Amino acid sequence: MKKLQGKTALVTGSSRGVGKIVAEALAKEGCRVFVHGRTLKACESTLALLSAAGVEGKAFAADLNVPADVDRLAAEVTAAGGVDILYNNAAIQCSYNMTISKQDMADWAKVFQTNVFAPIRLTSLLVDDIKKRGWGRIINVTSGIDKAWMQAAYGSSKWALDKWTDDLGAYVAGSGTVVSRIDPGWLRTDLGGPNADNAPETVLPGAMVPVLLASDAPQAQFFRAQDLRDVKL
């Protein structure tokens, strides 16, 4: 029997990049996957991968920069049966090649809405149902970015998400739900850009480690996918 047979996961930002890779990896372990993108059209290629893996996929469209869309996404996921695994992967960034005094606070607000407020709100709406199931996994995708002032909004948003992960771990402790965070590394995705150090596929197998933890594993562990390339799942 596959390790995630009978489980259902929502992977945000799974129409492309890391989210798409994670969605397929979950499917190969027998997991039903809810795919998320800004449009249903954008999700079609991921759904095809899930079908090829022999599992059911369902697409949900939502713009995480719009709070009402986040609430609707949670409601639609709940109406579709809810999830055992929530993989908060979606993120955006804004880059500045100028003095820090020129940074636009509207850009900061947009980054924090997508990277912090959206996953917090989505998790808050789904976590109690996940806890009731007696087995759950919540994974927040973070970043090791540091002292990169041109990416200060992105880096700060990930630090905020890390703090939320710590607090969320305390909330679910003892319920059978395990909260983790993972840094995928600098990858050649749309977000990471063409000059990144690592191919997107190197996020595996590390990205699956927090999903497959034992239910008594420590809460809010921090994993680096690039340090887990040789791990045996």
Taking the C-alpha atoms of residue 191 and residue 154, their distance in angstroms, rounded to an integer, is 11
DSSP 198: B
Strands 8-11, 85-88: pairing kind: parallel
Phi, psi of 13 (to 5 degrees): 65, 40
- Which of the following is catalytic: 87, 96, 154, 171? 154
The reply to whether omega before 205 is within 30° of 0 (cis) is yes
Is-catalytic flag, 154? yes
Which parts of the chain are beta strand (E)? Answer: 8-11, 32-37, 57-61, 85-88, 136-141, 177-183, 221-224
> Six-digit token pair at 225?
């996918």
Q: Is-contact 206 231, C-beta < 8 A?
A: yes
Separation of CA 223 from chain center: 13
* 141 DSSP assignment: E
Annotated catalytic residues are 154
